Amino acid sequence: NAGVMQNPRHLVRRRGQEARLRCSPMKGHSHVYWYRQLPEEGLKFMVYLQKENIIDESGMPKERFSAEFPKEGPSILRIQQVVRGDSAAYFCASRGAPSNQPQHFGDGTRLSIL
CB of 104 to another protein, least distance (A): 6
| Phi/psi-derived region of residue 85, left when phi > 0, alpha when psi is between -120 and 50, beta in every other case | alpha
- Residue 36, φ and ψ in degrees, nearest 5: -120, 140
Spatial contact of 4 and 92, defined as CB atoms under 8 Å apart: yes
Q: Tell me how far apart the alpha carbons of residues 50 and 14 are, in angstroms, rounded to a whole number.
A: 31
Q: Which stretch binds another protein (CB under 8 A): 20-28, 63-71, 80-88, 92-100?
A: 92-100
Q: Which of 20, 59, 74, 76 binds another protein (CB under 8 A)?
A: 59
Question: Residues 60 to 79: which contact another protein by CB under 8 A?
Answer: none
CB of 99 to another protein, least distance (A): 5
Q: Which stretch binds another protein (CB under 8 A): 11-19, 64-72, 76-84, 102-110?
A: 102-110
55 binds another protein (CB under 8 A): yes
Q: Tell me how far apart the alpha carbons of residues 27 and 80 are, in angstroms, rounded to a whole number.
A: 29
